[in-house]
Structure 1
């Protein structure tokens, strides 16, 4: 039986990852115990202007400014927006942006964050600990929104960096495939998708696939992305058709293939 996920009555305002960045004394203490590479990361974070600005503005991470820039350019959040899912939710900065952008709407959108990492949602949003590659998670998302469908799918998900750019690119393509499957199933007509990816040889294939589902597909590297980073975002607007269950189609194709193999033996 599916239980509707309710927001915490007194949600923790910050998740653990943000607490480290939000308090300089913690950074200093952490730096003393960290390895050389970790100290470099901590120093870079503490000196980063977007990190400093996120603390001043009350955002849980610098990633907020990536979505803010994307929304200014492409108007992702509209007055008609009712249902939003934030994939790769932790620490919750993108959900904070969605809440802020919809604050003056007559009807406050329903926002659900989904992540493998448990994290308290900002007040006014909800959280589901789950894996988007799981059919169960897809079903729980659908049921949470009372099978109304989604207006916006946000994905800031990314794999842990291996140090090998091409490997990271292919790993990001796998993640994007999972996001596209979810969006094709649950995103309503005229809905929007914002999705992070690492650039590489398969960019064109991903863009082509998205163009079959959306009227417009743009690629953008927001200013808050680090200059040397290979991360970019696909911004897809105007979903062309009603929901399509690519997960079911894939499952049926696998079963058909298995049956054909059995018959040939």
Structure 2
């Protein structure tokens, strides 16, 4: 697989993978604790009541309530790390309420059936091939032969397989965020919005700096729907700039 190069430094030779939430080994003590938390988790219960595919739906709902990321002008939406599909569900729901017929594409390493009114692509965000396939999808959806700059909104709930070693998990998260940001620089329209999850740690300031070079406004948020013990955080990035280059952001040539 052709990995995207020159998006910062290689991080200790780790290979990152997109994963959906809540993967666990059947019968393990960790899975038992996970199931116990789920039984007591209000968001998990609410997600079943509302037919959302996971509790992650409420994180995006909170983010939208505060920052209004879904707008009438939004037409093309990319959902990274989409499996099992809760964020795509929320996107479709929000755009339907606005009366907008949106093109919504979910992307994940794991196979997933797209929610009603959305599409799905199985692929690796760190692969140039996946970037090309995303571009081709939105080119067809907008009936244009122009390359890039088709997307109005990128939402990323990606997270690498956790190792239990906080520093390694953080660095793997930063690599995925770099890949998502590079994609946004190439395909997100001027003035577009990006929401990106990251695993908090010592290099998050580098990511925030890169985002601030690319967008006019960058906000940090931990939704109430996130578990208190989790180190996951989100950057909400508004109004993509028109003039920032990849070399400026990543220091590449």
**Interval of TM-score (by shorter of Structure 1 and Structure 2):** 0.7 to 0.9
Residues 1:36 and 2:29 are matched in the alignment:
yes
Q: Which residue, 91, 103, 109 being the options, matches 2:96?
A: 103
Correspondence for 2:84 among 80, 91, 108: 91
Mapped partners of 1:134, 1:187: distance in 2: 17
Within the candidate set 113, 119, 128, 1:120 is matched to 113
1:75 matched to 2:68: yes
Corresponding residue of 2:168: 167
**CA deviation profile, 1:13-44 (whole Å, cap 9, x unmatched):** xxxx99x9xxxxxxxxx99x612221111111
Larger radius of gyration: 1
Residue 160 of structure 2 contacts residue 173 of structure 2 at CA under 8 Å; is this kept in 1? yes
Match of 1:203 in 2: 204
Q: 1:121-160 alignment to 2 at 5 Å?
A: 121-146=114-139, 147=147, 149-160=150-161
Give the distance between the partners of 2:206 and 2:153, measured in 1 at CA.
22
Give the Cα–Cα distance (whole angstroms) in 2 for the partners of residues 175 and 80 of structure 1: 28
Q: Which runs of 5+ in 1 are unaligned?
A: 1-16, 21-29, 254-265
How much is the aligned-residue C-alpha RMSD, in angstroms? 2.4
> Is the Cα contact below 8 Å between 2:214 and 2:244 reproduced in 1?
no
**Residue 213 of structure 1: aligned partner:** 214
Number of residues of Structure 1 aligned to a counterpart in Structure 2: 224
TM-superposed CA distance for 1:72, in Å, is: 0.6
- Structure 1 stretches of 4+ moved >4 Å: none
Aligned to 2:234: 233
- Distance in 2 of aligned mates of 1:43 and 1:188: 43
Secondary structure (helix, strand or coil) at the match of 2:69 reads coil
CA distance in 2, matches of 1:206, 1:35: 35
Give the conservation status (yes or no) of the 8 Å contact 2:213–2:244: no
Question: TM-score, normalising length from structure 1?
Answer: 0.79
Q: CA deviation at 1:139?
A: 0.8
Asked if the contact 1:188–1:242 (Cα under 8 Å) also holds between the matched residues in 2, the reply is no
Higher relative contact order (CA closer than 8 Å, sequence separation 6+): 2
